[in-house]
Amino acid sequence: MIRRLVLAALTACLILALTPDSAEAGRKVRLMYEPPQAAPALSTAVNVTFVDAREEKKGGKEPNLIAQERNNMGMPSGIHSGKQGTMDPPTLLPSWGVDVLKAAGYDARVGEDASLPTVQLTLRSLWGDGMPVMGVVRHKFWLHVDVAVLPAGGGEPTWTSTFAGDGGTTTVMMRFDDPFETGFVRAFDQAAKGFLAAIATDAFQAALPGGDLEAAATASSEQGVQKDASGERKVGSTGVTAEDLPKGFEGWDPEVYGWGGKDMPAGFVFGGVGIGLIIGGDQLARDTALNDVQRVASLPAVFSTLNSLNHLPYTDPDPGAGPIAKGVAGELMFQFGIHMTVPSLGATIPTLIAAGTGNDIQTVKAVMGIASMPSFLVPGITMLNRFRLFPPEFSKLQNQTEDAYLHLGAGIFNLAIGLVDVVVGGVTGVVGILYAADVIKASPTERGLMPVVGGRGGRLKNAEARMLILPFAAPTDDGGGTVGIVGIF
């Protein structure tokens, strides 16, 4: 019976791993940019034209293919533009160029009027990639566009340059917006600032004189969080009213619903998956230890994996592919289950209660942050405490008494997950306390818990978080060795 349950759990987890994280394979997103403020007055009429020169497999063959996202096994599925009728790259890029030029005071329009000078945009790359790393999805973006100024009537370009935006590296943590949408917004924003700065140079002005150089300089240097007339951080509005609230959400604060509260129940789904991974991983590991590795005669019926590594076989003598696959799969399933379950449920339930009882966005974000602290600290401390099982196995490698190579990767993952959870728990708890003390004004237009710390703070922006974790191994003076991880968050 246990073997059947283990096989069913393992099959379910493999199906989950092989399924894209999105509910739709090849889904669509809104490809957007946040236009810079147009100059007070426009002069010097100019055409904007577009050439699509992307790689064939990255949008050159399918103009609306702009990114890929991968599931936990690294299998990609396409991301396409055009959701909700929004623009595709061949339409969006000329529009973006027009808005950038208008911010610099030019009377720009899309077209091919031979009597006007032309700014030609050649899109070299527009691509995004999302990859799960230890339960957290990280995203990268690329935007490269060549800009050329051509005189009226055509001819050779009189000025050329290339502008790029990478959108930063986003670690998605407690956000409700789409990371691909916001990542591309940041990439366009970076490229726009470089373009605007170039417009104010003597070389560009020699090729296309005119515009408003002061407005261009202001738009290119625009940084920091938006502030209102009193100098306070701008809160903004999602535009949701009480009349917009659907059935079942009548008692909610409209701004909380618009902020992303309607998506909170997804936390129960992740929590349920986490529970399945814990149960399936624990039973698979126990079955492997008792029936394949056979280093022990008995183990507790449940949660034996929390205090035992007997399911991870040594590699000499060769145990065969089966025990290795089962032991490592059970270990990783158990680790990710611990990592997912408590944060998902522990943060979702209190936040839903706060939102469902009609509290405002300030209170809801405070509850979310404060509840997230123990929700991350509990599994983090649990994993760090469990790491004590691995050093004795590492010492067997150092003393060459056993080939415990399978324990090395598993131990580093265990330690990394514990450290990440502790750090995230501390950060979210501090942010929640700052919201509760009104030190930070909670904005409904900032789509997650974390306040925007860079960019203009608009609805289409999100904060950039960077995480780098690297394993290391080094010999010690006594002939032993040290293993661990080093990184930044």
Q: Which residue has the higher pLDDT, 217 or 120?
A: 120
Q: What is the pLDDT of residue 473?
A: 55
Residue listed under structure tokens 């160029």:
97
457 in Cβ contact with 226 (< 8 Å): yes
Better-predicted residue by pLDDT, 236 or 24: 236
- The reported pLDDT for the residue numbered 430 is 93
| 44, pLDDT greater than 80 | yes
pLDDT of 378 over the 70 cut: yes
Contacts of 460 (CB under 8 A, 6+ apart): 32, 33, 34, 181, 182, 185
* Structure confidence at residue 455 (pLDDT): 42
Residue pair 185/461 in contact by the 8 Å Cβ criterion: yes
Asked if residue 301 has pLDDT above 90, the reply is yes
Tokens 């100098």 locate to: 231
Quick one: pLDDT at residue 143?
A: 94
Q: What is the pLDDT of residues 315-350, one digit of tens each?
A: 888 888 899 999 999 999 999 999 999 988 998 999
In Å, how far are 21, 73, 178 from 16, measured between CA atoms? Answer: 8, 10, 21
Q: What pLDDT does 366 receive?
A: 95
Q: What are phi and psi of 189, to 5 degrees?
A: -65, -45
What pLDDT sits at residue 69?
87
What's the mean pLDDT in 435-454? Answer: 79
| pLDDT greater than 90 at residue 163 | yes
In the chain, domain spans = 2-219, 261-488
Residue 393 vs residue 146, higher pLDDT: 146
Residue 108 identity: A
Hey, which residues does 483 pair with through a beta bridge?
Answer: 473
Stretch 146-160: mean pLDDT, rounded? 93
Distance of CA 393 to the CA centre of its chain: 35
Does residue 17 register a pLDDT over 80? no
Q: Would the pLDDT of 414 be above 80?
A: yes
Is the pLDDT score of 199 beyond 80?
A: yes
Categorize the per-residue pLDDT at 463 as very low, low, confident or very high, splitting at 50, 70 and 90.
very low
- The backbone torsions φ and ψ at residue 395, rounded to the nearest 5 degrees and listed phi first, read -65, -30
Is the Cα torsion angle 485, 487, 267, 85 positive or negative in sign?
A: negative
Give, for 217, the enclosing helix (H) or strand (E): helix 213-220
One-letter amino acid at 319 equals P
Work out the mean pLDDT of the chain and round it to a whole number: 82
Mean pLDDT of the region 466-472:
49
- The DSSP line for 363-390 is HHHHHHHHHHHHHHHHHHHHHHHHGGGS
Model confidence at 480, pLDDT cuts 50, 70, 90, reads low
Assess whether pLDDT exceeds 60 at residue 135: no
Specify the amino acid at residue 458.
G
For residue 224, name the pLDDT band (cuts at 50, 70, 90). very low
**Residue 401: how many other CB atoms lie within 10 Å:** 10
Q: Using 50, 70 and 90 to split pLDDT, how confident is the model at 364?
A: very high
Secondary structure (3-state) at 238: coil
Question: How far from the centroid of its chain's Cα atoms is residue 215's Cα?
Answer: 33
Q: Which two tokens stand for residue 220?
A: 């290119």
Confidence at residue 18, expressed as pLDDT on a 0 to 100 scale: 41
Q: How far is CA 52 from the centre of its chain?
A: 27
By the 8 A CB rule, do 266 and 175 touch? no
Per-residue pLDDT at 303: 94
Amino acid 55: pLDDT: 95
3-state secondary structure of 448: strand
Tell me: pLDDT of 214 over 50. yes
- Determine the 3-state secondary structure of 77 from DSSP: strand
